[in-house]
Amino acid sequence: MNILFQDRRALVIDKPAGLPVHPVRAGGPSVEDFFSQWRQGKQGPWLAHRLDRDTAGCLVIALKKSFLREAQEMFAQGLAQKTYLAVLRGRTTAPQGVINQPLAKRTQGRAWKMAPDEAAPPAITAWRVLGDNGTDSLVEFTPRTGRTHQIRAHAAHLGHPILGDEIYGGGAGGLRLLAWRIALPLDPPVLATASIPPHMRGFVEACHATL
């Protein structure tokens, strides 16, 4: 597991796409399998937040309980600065914008997804296009709130779902979503930038984007 940042309080790992953070019923590895390697003392580590199984990139792990409380408070208050990269289906008509669309969980049988709902809590995401290959777009997303599946649902709401998103209409073949950068403005700060994963690298290069 590639470690992007580490001090006595915390570490940030570069989570591969396809690796769940928690053990799943079907078995197989998870991020929690690595906890014994990172443990300091009798307790911990702890996940400071979550990433979807198919989302790659920066995941913050608390090594101290005091840091866990600080980090969770920052995420809850929207003070954690998160930046995502995604490959969207199609080319957007505008170069940038802000999506302000509340989202609520909708369940059908065993399946669920986040859907627009004006009565739901706020969900706000800023976005800008970094490039395209003539067919699809490389987009930077900066969420201002932290709703479940917010980037995925907002991309679909924009009319351009993330490629490989089987839930929100981007087709199959691996979710092209990267938790690219994270910054927790603590003292000292926690800062990390993830590498571009193999399943997105060719597209990023084709867009000639400056990252």
Active site residues: 52
d(CA 32, CA 29): 8
> Could you count the other beta carbons within 10 Å of the beta carbon of residue 81?
16
Coil, strand or helix at 158: coil
Answer for the pair 143, 77: CB distance below 8 angstroms, yes or no. Answer: no
Q: Can you tell me the distance from the alpha carbon of 87 to that of 202, in angstroms, rounded to the nearest whole number?
A: 11
Interatomic CA distance for residues 54 and 192, integer angstroms = 19
What's CA 112's distance to the chain center, in Å?
Answer: 18
